């Protein structure tokens, strides 16, 4: 292995460690540790939220999907671009305005204040869902880190998992959310650059865009059809809708909502929306076209999820192998760090401080937060070390578990003043439970319909129906109207 492969990797790891140490000064309290003092600039919020939302699935999973199903994967682009755009246009500013008013630093904080939930029911449900899904999600990303190190540098799987986990845990625990957000920004920019370079190089190597599509069509003409091998059938429509539904969660998963909360101002969210749109377009179009170019160049791959590492190794000089490893690691780490900090906030803020009513000082609690970050990483690690077969469907499952539990409730809470505390509780539980039950018992019999759809629908229906049957919180209508009025003229 060339020495030059290790240079970008070493530089990247040093940058992360420095970011971790630099961010220690973000403030001693919980607001400093968990939302970076609510001072993040627009560009950091935008790239950080997309890098967090996408994970290693983008570079390995979505490129593989482009390879496997061709143009049919355009439905994922549609869903994600719409999801991100609508998240920024519809959700970000109202959510930021309300959470600033409440002094919230976690999503359960927000739900408790919005629904006057003095008994803390929503907080407990939220914490249970966050911790269970984040552990699965983190373990799957650690597996991806192990595989990335092993496939790029032949380190072996277990050393790869350990190196990735050690670096991520260090800068997350030490630097808190500020380190997470700024490192996500660096990682997001690297991902965007990689996903610009890879498809351009791939298309050029395939002889241009027309030659690429002709080569892919010669292998299988259905790879060039929007409805793929299904055609315009019930199964085809379900497949397309399922892929587009991946984008739904961008409207309400807690690891993204916390970034809106942490933005410096309403103006940052307006500016950030443009960055976020451009970023997601580059991410998704780049990933799908990388896969399609890979299919034209290497038609017989056994594992389609190796297409991105293969293209980077075959089409670029040796030093770029290191750069592309850094990009894959960036995608993985930007998600793991966000899940760790979110889980840590769930334990320290939501359980210890708010549920158990601890009177410990905020400075000490933020120290416990660092320890909790390490502990949660340590819980996920054995799953990753033992289960090398965790696949990317785990990522999509955890993504939809969080999305179905939180997104319908968050949307109703922002746009329907009639939403009630019990409606929110029913929506969260239904969304989460239906997602899990669908995967376990029904998915295989229903055309592999992606669990986000039944989960989201169940969450929405339960929230609306139970809200109609119960009394809304006092003053909610006036509160939402006042918030809208403030935002109408610039926040």
Partner 1 sequence: MTFLGLGVGAWLLLAVAVGLGGVIEATFLWQVSRRRRLGEDDR
Is 249 a residue that touches partner 1 (CB under 8 A)? Answer: no
Is 213 a residue that touches partner 1 (CB under 8 A)? Answer: yes
Measured from the CB of residue 415, what is the shortest distance to partner 1 in angstroms? 16
Measured from the CB of residue 205, what is the shortest distance to partner 1 in angstroms? 16
Is 429 a residue that touches partner 1 (CB under 8 A)? Answer: no
How far, in Å, CA of 160 to CA of 164, rounded? 6
**CB 50 within 8 Å of CB 283:** yes
Binding mask 285-304 toward partner 1 (x if CB under 8 A, else -) reads x-------------------
Binding piece for partner 1, criterion CB under 8 A, among 187-195, 268-276, 388-396, 456-464: 268-276
Report the residue from 11, 211, 388, 465 that binds partner 1 according to the rule CB under 8 A: 211
Is 200 a residue that touches partner 1 (CB under 8 A)? Answer: no
Measured from the CB of residue 89, what is the shortest distance to partner 1 in angstroms? 4
Binding mask 28-67 toward partner 1 (x if CB under 8 A, else -) reads ----------------------------------------
Counting Cβ atoms within 10 Å, is residue 208 exposed (0-12), middle (13-18) or buried (19+)? Answer: exposed
Is 399 a residue that touches partner 1 (CB under 8 A)? Answer: no
Helices (H), 352-469: 362-386, 392-415, 421-437, 452-469
Nearer to partner 1, 88 or 115 (CB): 88
How far, in Å, CA of 491 to CA of 484, rounded? 9
Nearer to partner 1, 7 or 211 (CB): 211
DSSP characters for 90-107?
Answer: IIIHHHHHHHHHHT-SSH
Is 274 a residue that touches partner 1 (CB under 8 A)? Answer: yes
Tokens matching residue 429:
């539980």
CA quadruple 232, 281, 329, 296: dihedral sign: positive
How far, in Å, CA of 422 to CA of 319, rounded? 56
Nearer to partner 1, 98 or 136 (CB): 98
Report the residue from 30, 107, 180, 225 that binds partner 1 according to the rule CB under 8 A: 225
Measured from the CB of residue 468, what is the shortest distance to partner 1 in angstroms? 30
Nearer to partner 1, 37 or 274 (CB): 274
Binding piece for partner 1, criterion CB under 8 A, among 34-42, 113-121, 271-279, 417-425: 271-279
Q: Is 124 helix (H, G, I), strand (E, B) or coil?
A: helix
DSSP characters for 268-337?
Answer: HHHHHHHHHHHHHHHHHHHHHHHHHHHHHH-TT-S-GGGHHHHHHHHHS-HHHHHHHHHHHHHHHHHHHH
H or E element at residue 85: helix 74-86
CA dihedral 317, 321, 323, 328 (to 10 degrees): 150
Measured from the CB of residue 226, what is the shortest distance to partner 1 in angstroms? 5
Measured from the CB of residue 57, what is the shortest distance to partner 1 in angstroms? 18
How far, in Å, CA of 378 to CA of 28, rounded? 24
**Contacts to partner 1 from residues 63-102, by CB under 8 A:** 71, 74-75, 77-78, 81-82, 84-86, 88-89
Residues near partner 1 (CB under 8 A): 71, 74-75, 77-78, 81-82, 84-86, 88-89, 209-214, 217, 224-226, 270, 273-274, 277, 280-281, 285, 488-490
């Amino acid at each position: 292995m060339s020495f030059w492969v290790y240079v970008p990797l070493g530089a990247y790891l040093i940058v992360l460690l420095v970011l971790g140490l630099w961010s220690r000064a973000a403030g001693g309290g919980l607001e400093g540790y968990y939302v970076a003092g609510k001072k993040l600039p627009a560009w950091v919020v935008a790239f950080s939220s997309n890098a967090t939302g996408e994970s290693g699935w983008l570079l390995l999973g979505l490129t593989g999907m482009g390879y496997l199903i061709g143009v049919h994967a355009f439905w994922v682009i549609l869903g994600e671009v719409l999801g991100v755009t609508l998240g920024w246009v519809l959700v970000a500013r109202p959510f930021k305005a309300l959470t600033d008013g409440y002094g919230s630093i976690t999503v359960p904080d927000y739900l408790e204040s919005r629904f006057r939930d003095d008994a803390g029911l929503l907080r407990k449900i939220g914490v249970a869902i966050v911790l269970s899904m984040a552990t699965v999600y983190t373990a799957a990303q650690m597996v991806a880190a192990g595989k990335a190190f092993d496939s790029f540098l032949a380190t072996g799987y277990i050393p790869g998992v350990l190196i990735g986990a050690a670096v991520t845990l260090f800068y997350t625990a030490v630097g808190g959310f500020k380190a997470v957000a700024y490192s996500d920004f660096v990682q997001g920019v690297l991902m965007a650059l990689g996903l610009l370079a890879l498809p351009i190089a791939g298309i050029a190597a395939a002889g241009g865009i027309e030659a690429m599509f002709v080569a892919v069509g010669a292998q299988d003409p259905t790879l060039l059809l929007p409805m793929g091998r299904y055609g315009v059938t019930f199964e085809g429509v379900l497949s397309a809708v399922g892929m587009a539904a991946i984008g739904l969660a961008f409207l309400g998963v807690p690891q993204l909502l916390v970034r809106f909360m942490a933005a410096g101002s309403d103006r940052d969210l307006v500016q950030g929306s443009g960055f976020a749109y451009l970023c997601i377009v580059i991410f998704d179009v780049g990933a799908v076209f990388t896969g399609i170019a890979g299919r034209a160049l290497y038609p017989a791959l056994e594992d389609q999820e190796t297409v991105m590492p293969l293209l980077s190794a075959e089409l670029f000089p040796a030093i770029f192998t290191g750069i592309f490893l850094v990009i894959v690691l960036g995608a993985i780490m930007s998600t793991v760090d966000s899940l760790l900090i979110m889980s840590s906030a769930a334990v320290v803020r939501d359980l210890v401080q708010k549920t158990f009513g601890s009177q410990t000082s905020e400075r000490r609690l933020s120290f416990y937060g660092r320890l909790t970050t390490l502990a949660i990483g340590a819980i996920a690690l054995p799953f990753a070390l033992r289960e090398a077969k965790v696949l990317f469907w785990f990522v999509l499952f955890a993504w939809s578990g969080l999305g179905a539990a939180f997104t319908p409730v968050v949307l109703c809470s922002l746009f329907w003043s009639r939403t009630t505390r019990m409606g929110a509780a029913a929506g969260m539980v239904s969304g989460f439970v239906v997602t899990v039950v669908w995967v376990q018992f029904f998915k295989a019999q229903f055309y592999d319909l992606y669990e986000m759809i039944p989960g989201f629908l169940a969450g929405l229906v339960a929230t609306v129906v139970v809200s109609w049957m119960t009394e809304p919180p006092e003053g909610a209508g006036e509160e939402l109207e006042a918030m809208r009025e403030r935002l109408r003229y610039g926040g």
